[in-house]
Amino acid sequence: MAKTLFLGDSLTAVYEMSAKYVLDEKIKTEYVSGSGLINKSKKDWIAFVNNFDLREFDNVIISLGTNDFVQYGSDEWLKYYSLVFQFIAEIQSENPLATIVWISPPHLKNPEHERYLIHTRHIIKHSAMLLNIHYLDINQPHILGTQWQSVIHNETVRTDDGIHITRKGGVRVIREVVKILNGQD
């Protein structure tokens, strides 16, 4: 039986709950609401993966970035690239055989926050490609939609706060994660 570790912000709690319905695996979760790679006051994720034994896990699922707003062309842009690279590289060096999937931040209802998150998503996606890990873009029509929307195909997939995902939305995301883990991406 595969062992899966979920790491991330508050969205991770929904993914964990949904995974228990879909995955027949041992699941461990480490998440902190409001956390990200930029703001280390909530949790220093790079220090965490440096000091946590990742060797027992077959899969590492990451949900970070929703709280990391990066302005294009700023010093933060390069710093964030460095943080994402370092975070992924630490996981890979600790457990080179693990399948790593980074779940993209979802669209946000707040247009100003969404504007910055576009750059955050780009950095994560590009870094994932360069470091040869899986990147799941959940902002597709059949998952959570190409823009913020609360309902898709008569299913409520987002909460009214404009940030979080419902259990049904989480199941949609986890189904896509399972496809990746089964080599169907």
> What is the model's pTM?
0.94
- For the chain, give the mean pLDDT: 93
Give the domain range for residue 162. Answer: 3-181
Which pLDDT tens digit goes with each residue over 63-72?
999 999 888 7
CATH number of the CATH domain containing 135: 3.40.50.1110
Radius of gyration of the chain (CA): 15
Which pLDDT tens digit goes with each residue over 92-142?
999 999 999 999 999 999 999 999 899 999 999 999 999 999 999 999 999
CA–CA separation, 25 and 38 (whole Å): 31
Given a cut of 90, whether residue 73 has pLDDT beyond it is no
The number of folded domains in the chain is 1
CA–CA separation, 94 and 57 (whole Å): 10
